[in-house]
Chain A
Amino acid sequence: MKSIYYIFPVKLREGLLKCRIHMDCLEEIRVRVGQPLIFWYGGKEWYYDAHQMRLSEQLEDGYIMMEEDLTDMVMFLSRYSVYAFEEEMHNGFVTLEGGHRVGIAGQVRMERGKVADIRYISFLNIRVAKQKQGCARNLLPYLIHGKQIYNTLIVSAPGIGKTTYLRDCIRMLSDGTSYLNGLRIGLVDERSEIAACHLGVPQNDVGQRTDVLDRCSKSEGMRILLRAMSPQVIAVDELGAEEDYQAVEQTLNCGSRILGTLHAADIQELKEKKLVQKWLAHHTFERYVVLHKAESGSRNFKIYDDNLELLC
């Protein structure tokens, strides 16, 4: 929590510390110029009452964020080094120590169709990192094949938790379990979502045998890892681009295994994806794990084989 408090203006920090906010219940903090500071806490919206130094449900108690507050916050979250975080800011987020992610919005300056700069940063979304260690414990036995794993694709709609499942699989495969020795994992973390590296150091537990290539494109990252780190498994999030196909083929030709994720709400949507059709034709992936969110909020999974036949 320290790394989150420290990005707030000095005048607010003491009060926020006094609030005794439990990190387990805190989901995100929304900061907008001229608007009240909002905490998503325990599934509800709360306003920060700077006078009473507490969270309040009353809008009129809410502390209104000033322009200079945001200026200070940008300075703190970049560790006084906006120049060093230029690239992250162009991508719209900065990862803090602890894996927490700060989304950034403001006035964008475009240059040749790409984001050249974000000026007047007026909106921040601080998303509190939560690792759900052990969530993929039941899934892992279905992915193991001898001393290796099946080439596996974890599939779900956005927000269901495929990245969380992927991270947990990586951690367990890397550390090893009672039925599998630890594997050397090469992780291409294009958006810093899996390992959440801060200054090159993973903030999330991705296991003792995992090498992370942070902020690198998937296709290039897979090639680099193959050449440099000789991984037994290459893990990537959100496959789907045409160039990913080539990189996956190359990885498999080199004898490494692939553990990846892909956006698709269900098996039907999966079948319709052109890239998946190619993979299905070549039996590239041997296991497809489709995640669903139950009404209770818990996650269930179904496992399909390389012909998309339901296994369990």
Chain B
Amino acid sequence: MDKNKSNKKPEKEDHQESRRDFLKASSILTAIAVAPATVAKAAEYNLGEKISAAFETTPVNLTINGAKKQLAVEPRSTLLDVLREQLNLTGTKKGCDYGQCGACTVHVNGQRVLSCLSLVVMQEGKEVTTIEGIAKGDELHPMQKAFIKHDGFQCGYCTPGQIMSGIACINEGHAETKEDIKEFMSGNICRCGAYPNIVKAIQEVKNGGQKS
């Protein structure tokens, strides 16, 4: 790009100018979009002779919902994808895959975290609890009951994340007031808009003195 270009041109001209520059940078009429250079470089590195080694899986030992698991995973596999695709624990949801919605919330060693941004290899020796692991047999967790009672959901897709987050929110001591709950639950997006009912459910469990 032309580094000496003035910023003071009228908007429209500027617009066209920068467009031309971009086109110039990408060889006039043909814009070449390739895999980003970072990826291409890394791919080259990985795909050469080291190919077999690079794609070997790594063993990981962890506990999921109380059961010890020995898994063989690629280092790049996220906890979310392994739960859903390898272990068929599909209660944990993928809503964005970038840590922006909270649908994938699980507890790791009792803390709420986002499984979409957690690499499984980094969970060695840890205890993971998912939505499938909080009821005691047929007896629902108080938070699950409260969600049903207060209709804290519609489509149900964000619900497991909201419930896991809600339980942790109380345990953390961030459910003292309604405003606190709203702030500390803001990492769990509900597009159906069940928020007020979710808050009611959390308040009820909080006031009932329930802990996970």
- Whether A and B are associated in the same complex: the answer reads no
User: What residues make up the interface of A, taking CB atoms closer than 8 Å to B?
Assistant: none
